[in-house]
Amino acid sequence: MSVQALSKDEFDPASVVTSDPVVRVETISKHYGTVEALRSIDLQFERGKLTTLLGPSGCGKTTLLKIIAGLVPATSGQIVVNGRAVTGPGPERAFVFQDFALMPWATVLRNVGFGLELKGLAAAERNRIARRYIEEVGLQGFEDKYPHELSGGMRQRVGIARAFAVNADVLLLDEPFSAVDEQNRRKFQEDLLRLVEMERKTFIFVTHSIEEAVYVSDRIVLLSPRPGRVSNIIDPRIDRTADPDDIRRDPGYLDVVEEIWQSLRHYAE
Amino acid sequence: MTLFGYRIPMMASLIVWALVWEIVGRMDVIFLIPPMSAILAAGVDLVQTNSWQNATWVTIRSFVIGMALAIGIGVPLGVMMGRVKIIDNIFGLWVNIFVSAPLSALVPVLMILFGMGEATIVVTVFLFAVWIIVLDARAGVMQVPPSLIDMARSYGASQATIMRKIILVSALPEILAGIRIGVIRGVKGVVIGQILVAVIGYGELFELYSRSFDMERFWALTLVLFAAAMVLSALVENAEKRIEYYAGAR
């Protein structure tokens, strides 16, 4: 098994330019009043790849994700998706929420089909699509249950199925597994890798867990806090055909985790 | 409640107190308390009279109009206050003053403004009921999780759709709770209004019976009102329970 970490000690923005960027973040800055949350962020996200925004709390990673989603306006700079500058949410992007954001009064089926319902699809059509994605995330048999009848892990599966159902090019995941217990987290990470493989979409993933980032990412963008800036970009280059447990014990994997920890540790405390 | 191992239904305590009342009434200690059986007989008699039926019709009409206005204005105002900061700033203080104010004191002023008639009663019902409806609708809207609104936005929902499919549905338990308390307050409003105005509906009857010391009819009318208020409250509560399955679970 070959696991190598390729990272640059000195971050060079020019080398980040990729051949087929789906999402381009161009000199994005964000101020909340006098607080500078993000300073001049430039990033590109490749098609079919999973990129993680990683950093300590207060580095603005969720803010950046919400700006990409069009949920939060940037103070300056622009977001370009599929070659078009965007100012609000759009059908080519789907968001997975940290707190699941499920409608407690609606069944799993209606929750998963809600994006399609808002698009105006007929009930029969959206239920058919919703059922397919409910099955894909392993929730068949729970279509008529309500969110409060499900565990935290199952609720997030509903959130992920809802995002897949609208067939967006870009999936934005905001710490999707942080409210899920540790056993389920690992299962989730493996399922996520399977979905990345199957769906060939662009994933932008926010987490504060270094292990999680190294395990699932094709590329990791390290952000430093106050104000949020890109401090480093790391490609873990992990052989994902290997057994998940072997990957987690592999020296290469552990080296990348250690390297990221070294670069982040001075932000702790 | 259980007594000597037997389950006693809640209604049993009513029967016990009715019996006590009956005994005290028959002892003829005070003219204010006629026997319960005489009151019930007077009640059966009362509901067949023209004056009672007219009074009931007038009362129901003012109550329904007043409540319709209170809900029709209160819910939208509360929802707007929950969503728009500036509207909340404009109305918040006033709503909080009025919700706890002794509104009965305002009825004489209302009589001057709206005359000694039904309009005053309608306004009294409205003023008694509307504030709690506003406050509860506002509270319901403010507890809607922001991520749920973000979710709808991210899937392309318009402001109107967000209002209809997320905010109103999410706030429904609080809105209904406000309406239930509003209904109970409205019943108080209609009775207090009529008694203070004293020339229409039940107010006229109360005035008539207490002046002529017709205590049987006076109490019969009181019992009818109590029962009506309880039935109304139970009806709204029943409507609330239907949506409780998710209200308790969020």
Q: What is the pLDDT of residues A163-177, one digit of tens each?
A: 988 888 889 999 888
With CA atoms as reference, the chain B residue closest to A115 would be: B155
The two three-digit tokens of residue A4, written as one number: 């190598």
CB contact under 8 A, B152 and A146: no
CA B207 to chain centre: 22
| pLDDT of res. A184 | 78
| pLDDT of res. B67 | 95
What is the spatial distance between Cα A37 and Cα B247, in angstroms, rounded to a whole number? Answer: 36
Overall average pLDDT of the A190-194 stretch: 82
Chain A positions touching B148 (Cβ under 8 A) are 101, 103
The two three-digit tokens of residue A269, written as one number: 């405390």
What is the number of other CB atoms lying within 10 angstroms of the CB of residue B224?
16
Q: How many beta-carbon pairs under 8 angstroms link A with B?
A: 61
Q: Which distant-in-sequence residues (6+ apart) come within 8 Å of A8 by Cβ?
A: A15, A232, A233
Residue with the bigger pLDDT between A181 and A156: it is A156
What is the spatial distance between Cα A53 and Cα A99, in angstroms, rounded to a whole number? Answer: 18
Domains (ranges, CATH) in chain B? Answer: 50-247 (1.10.3720.10)
Q: With a cut of 60, say whether residue A15 has pLDDT above it.
A: no
CB contact under 8 A, A99 and B151: no
With CA atoms as reference, the chain A residue closest to B171 would be: A105
CA A71 to chain B, closest CA, distance in angstroms equals: 7
| pLDDT of res. A228 | 83
Q: If 0-12 CB within 10 Å is exposed, 13-18 middle and 19+ buried, where does residue B181 land? A: middle
Interface predicted TM-score (ipTM): 0.82
With CA atoms as reference, the chain B residue closest to A70 would be: B154
3-state DSSP call for residue B14? helix
User: Helix H segments across chain A?
Assistant: 61-69, 108-112, 114-119, 123-136, 152-165, 182-199, 210-216, 244-249, 251-264
The verdict on B145 touching A (C-beta cutoff 8 Å) is yes
- What is the residue-averaged pLDDT of chain B? 86
The verdict on B194 touching A (C-beta cutoff 8 Å) is no
Specify which residues A259 forms β-bridges with: none
CB contact under 8 A, A105 and B170: yes
Let me know if residue A73 belongs to a domain.
Answer: yes
Overall average pLDDT of the B203-209 stretch: 87
Q: What percent of chain B has pLDDT over 90?
A: 29
What is the band of B180 on the pLDDT scale with cuts at 50, 70, 90? confident
With CA atoms as reference, the chain A residue closest to B169 would be: A105
Chain A positions touching B170 (Cβ under 8 A) are 103-105
Let me know if residue A268 belongs to a domain.
Answer: yes
Tell me if the pTM is above 0.90.
no
Alpha carbon distances (Å) from B234 to B74, B229, B239: 21, 9, 9
Residue of A105, A158, A170 to mutate, testing the B interface (most B Cβ within 10 Å of its Cβ): A105
CA B130 to chain centre: 10
Q: What is the pLDDT of residues A221-232, one digit of tens each?
A: 888 887 888 877
| pLDDT of res. A81 | 86
Q: With a cut of 90, say whether residue A207 has pLDDT above it.
A: no
Domains in chain A: how many in total?
A: 1
Let me know if residue A191 belongs to a domain.
Answer: no
Let me know if residue A101 belongs to a domain.
Answer: no
CB contact under 8 A, A119 and B156: yes
CA B93 to chain A, closest CA, distance in angstroms equals: 28
What is the band of B86 on the pLDDT scale with cuts at 50, 70, 90? very high
Tell me which residue in A93, A97, A105 faces B151 most closely, judged by beta carbons: A97
CB contact under 8 A, A146 and B249: yes
State the residue range of the domain holding A69. 23-87+204-269
Let me know if residue A162 belongs to a domain.
Answer: no
Overall average pLDDT of the B26-42 stretch: 82
CB contact under 8 A, B154 and A146: no
CATH code for the domain of A249: 3.40.50.300
| pLDDT of res. B243 | 67
